[in-house]
Amino acid sequence: MSDSDSVGAALPCGVLPIDPVPFLEAVRAQVEARKADGGNLAVLLIECGVISRIDAVWGYQVGDSVRGRVAALLRTDVLRPGDLVGDMGRDDFACVLSTVDGPEVALLAANKSLRELSTPFWVGEDEIYASPAIGIAMFPAHGDQAETLLQRAKSACVLARELDGSIADYGEDRDNLAASKLLYENRLRTAVAEDAINLVFQPQYDLRLGQVMGAEGLLRWRDPALGLIPSKDAFAAAESADVVIQLVSSVLNRALRNISEFRYSAGLDLRVGVKLPARVLRYPELLDVVERARGTWSRRPGTLILEIGETSVLGQDAVARETLGRLKEFGVKLSIDDPGMAFSSLFWLATLPFQEIKIDVSAASDLTGGPKSERILQSIIELAHHLKFAVVAVGVPDDAAAARLKELRCDYMQADYKGPALAPAAFVTRFGFNEG
């Protein structure tokens, strides 16, 4: 900040204090000034989403350097003289807009912060992207004390992490949501630590041979209070609880252990697929976890398939794309499993080391009697084959549709009508030895 007379002058450009108390005192002074003049004030809590990962890969000194660059960028390109920026945690930055006409000004500042932080940071020759989320709290609407405003901006930031726009303002109903979410995360942490995560297996059929060729291991976590938790929510909770790698390790090892047991106890020599959100590829520890799991259970190359969802992340994250390449080198087969993927995404996904794509055919109302649906599917399958992708159809309704998919040269299918997801013992009972 260039205005040496303002309260924020205690925080020079690019320098963040280890002790947050001086910053908190500066926020208190701004709040008192607004109480005196009857104006509005906004607090933006920005979670950068990259510093801790930089610490893990390059060390704390490099992380400190990037934090200083983030603070300087916010100060020079987003904030005005008289506004404040301070350190509220390793990845968290608090910005105080000292005077605003209303919440729309805070939203404009939040959107500008997102744009600025979406440009890459260079660490040596490596291009690193932040994944910011921003929570907004307003004085006096959301609180009249500095501590309250900072806490409520953080509460909103937690919600923003789950929204497409990555920005949220505070709402009183979210306090209870945040408390429930914390308990939810703690229960997941305990479940992972106690290896209480379960998998069920849904068979995958080779349409050309008409037999079971593999299975997808589906995460099942049943919380005592909340019941069955969707896999997507389990991974979101794992991120918040900082146990993503532990959850991935638990799921991979359980899937590979079960698939090995299928082979030795029931003569089923199957490949196994495990679905992971693409953002998991950002974690540098993932490669070691996958390699250790494959080595522990002695899986042949190509028999472990990682099915990657939420692929839009890959376009912005060079680390995730590099991880994909390393996984392929390990002999892991990579599959696109993203029902929300735009067709145009194939242009750049084709440049990545994927070998398989899953397509949901349930949207095709009649595979046996709808010429337009059939032509669309045929074009998708042919395009996938041109890109050297095997095709797995999901949502197949019946044998007639399966027969037509076979005629269209679809490779595999996974369908509830052929077999629901089963616990390991039930899977062996149904498909062991006598499946033909």
pLDDT tens-place values along the chain, 436 residues long: 333 333 333 333 333 443 456 889 999 999 999 999 999 999 999 998 888 888 888 888 888 888 888 888 899 989 998 899 998 888 899 999 999 988 889 999 999 998 888 877 777 777 777 888 999 999 999 999 999 999 999 988 988 887 777 898 887 555 555 555 666 677 788 888 887 788 999 999 999 888 899 999 999 888 776 678 788 888 888 887 788 999 999 999 999 999 999 988 888 889 999 999 998 998 989 999 999 999 899 888 889 999 999 888 787 778 888 999 999 998 999 999 988 776 667 788 888 999 999 998 887 756 655 677 788 888 999 999 999 999 999 989 899 889 989 999 999 999 988 878 999 999 988 888 654 4
- Write down the pLDDT at residue 366: 63
- Write down the pLDDT at residue 178: 56
The C-alpha angle with vertex 324 and arms to 321 and 328, in degrees rounded to 5, equals 150
The C-alpha angle with vertex 86 and arms to 80 and 89, in degrees rounded to 5, equals 145
Model confidence pLDDT, tens digit, residues 334-368: 999 988 776 667 788 888 999 999 998 887 756 65
**Which residue, chain included where needed, has tokens 């060079």?**
318
Task: Please list, residue by residue across 40-60, b when 16 or more beta carbons sit within 10 angstroms of its beta carbon and e when fewer do.
Answer: bbbbbbbbbbbbebbbeebee
What are the backbone angles phi and psi of residue 240, rounded to the nearest 5°? -65, -35
What are the backbone angles phi and psi of residue 251, rounded to the nearest 5°? -65, -45
Report how far apart, in Å, the C-alpha atoms of 166 and of each of 38, 58, 204, 263 are.
30, 27, 36, 45
| Segment (H or E) for 336 | strand 333-336
Give residue 392's identity as a one-letter amino acid code: V
- Write down the pLDDT at residue 17: 44
What are the backbone angles phi and psi of residue 111, rounded to the nearest 5°? -65, -40
Contact of 129 with 103, CB cutoff 8 Å: no
167 pairs with which residues across the strands? 134
What are the backbone angles phi and psi of residue 137, rounded to the nearest 5°? -130, 140
d(C-alpha 326, C-alpha 320), whole Å: 10
382: Cβ contacts below 8 Å, ≥ 6 apart: 409
**Which residue, chain included where needed, has tokens 């890969």?**
57
Q: How far from the centroid of its chain's Cα atoms is residue 315's Cα?
A: 13
308: Cβ contacts below 8 Å, ≥ 6 apart: 275, 276, 277, 278, 281, 314, 324, 334, 335, 336, 337, 338, 354
Q: What is the DSSP string of 126-177?
A: EEE----EEEEEEETTT-SSHHHHHHHHHHHHHHHTTSTT-EEE--THHHHH
d(C-alpha 203, C-alpha 266), whole Å: 15
- Write down the pLDDT at residue 242: 82
- Write down the pLDDT at residue 362: 82
Which domains does the chain possess? 7-171 (3.30.70.270), 183-431 (3.20.20.450)
Q: How many CB atoms lie within 10 A of CB 122?
A: 10
d(C-alpha 419, C-alpha 422), whole Å: 8
**Tokens read off for 303:** 């028999």
202: Cβ contacts below 8 Å, ≥ 6 apart: 215, 216, 218, 414, 416, 419, 420, 421, 422
